Each structure stands twice: as structure tokens, then as C-alpha cells.
Amino acid sequence: MLKLPLLIGCFFISTQSLAKCDDKVFNEFDFWLGNWQVFTADNKLVGNNVISKSHGGCVVKEQYTALSGFSGESLNIFDTTTRRWHQTWVDNSGLLLQLNGGLSTGSMSLSGKRQNKSGTFIFERITWTPNKDGTVRQLWQSKTHKQAKWQTVFDGLYKRVNK
């Protein structure tokens, strides 16, 4: 069978160069896959999150909806060039986060920096930790270069919804 190049956007990509995302590194974030209810640290339900794989198992996709009407989504991928995980988050508040990192001592930790409307750089760090009971803790922290300590933005617990 003749393998022809694919036109993707303005790029030609050989079908032979398509990623094979079955390597174990592409499964490092699989503990987050599923349908979840999201609770605050004081056990108040705040929203729902659906985490799935797409694009041949290469991408972990998140779709979050809060009870308040807030919503957002992320695309997560293991970047084979940098050998790091990357997340791009967007939401209905206009926030864009671009984070990089990886699995360390059983937790996925991603970080990055962004500039707020006043021009201040904000450093962001989000860590997902799978718990023995099947839940997942998400801890989102931020700080500016003037702050010595990280501030908690969100400390949530994901509880699986059986569907």
C-alpha cells in the first residue's frame, strides 16, 4: 500500500511520522481519566469534570463545569520534543494557562507563568495526586516574584462518578 502525505493545515505530514502514543509515558496522567465530581477541601461540591483521551491516546482532554457557571477545558500532551508534559487551559473568564512539567513521586506537577492585566507576572503551579481510595487531589497555587510563599488558588478533591 502506498503511504501518501497528509495535508494538515499548511503542513504536509507523512502518515509514517504520526505519533504512536502507546508508550507508557503517555499513560502517566491516566489516573485522572474519568467522570468526576469536584469538591473543595471542606467537602462542598463545586463542579463536574470529564477527563478523556483523544487523538489516538496522545491527548488528555479536560472539560470542567462549575455549579457557579464557570467553565473551562484543557488539552494535555506529553511533548516528545521536550520530554515534558504540557497543558493549555482556557476558560470563560478569559484565562489562558500554559503549564509544563511531569510526573514526580506519583504526582503530576505542572507549572508556568503568565502576565496579569496590570503587567505583573504570576507563577502558577498545579499538582494532581492520586489517592489510595481512588480520589484525586488537585492543588493549584500561585505567587508573584514579590511573594515568598505560594498562595492556594484551589484545593480540590475529585470523586469518581460511576456511569
Query: pLDDT tens-digit profile of 72-122?
Result: 999 999 999 999 999 999 999 999 999 999 999 999 999 999 999 899 999
Contact 97, 121 (CB under 8 A): no
State yes or no: pLDDT of 11 exceeds 80: no
CATH second-level architecture of 23-160? Beta Barrel (2.40)
Dihedral Cα 24, 134, 140, 80, nearest 10 deg: 10
pLDDT, position 2: 44
Alpha-helical regions (H) of 19-163: none
CB of 158 within 8 A of CB of 49?
A: yes
Alpha-carbon distance 46 to 67, whole Å?
Answer: 6
Q: How far apart are CA 94 and CA 7, in angstroms?
A: 31
Q: Specify the pTM.
A: 0.86
Q: What mean pLDDT is predicted for residues 53-77? A: 97
Q: Where are the domains of the chain?
A: 23-160
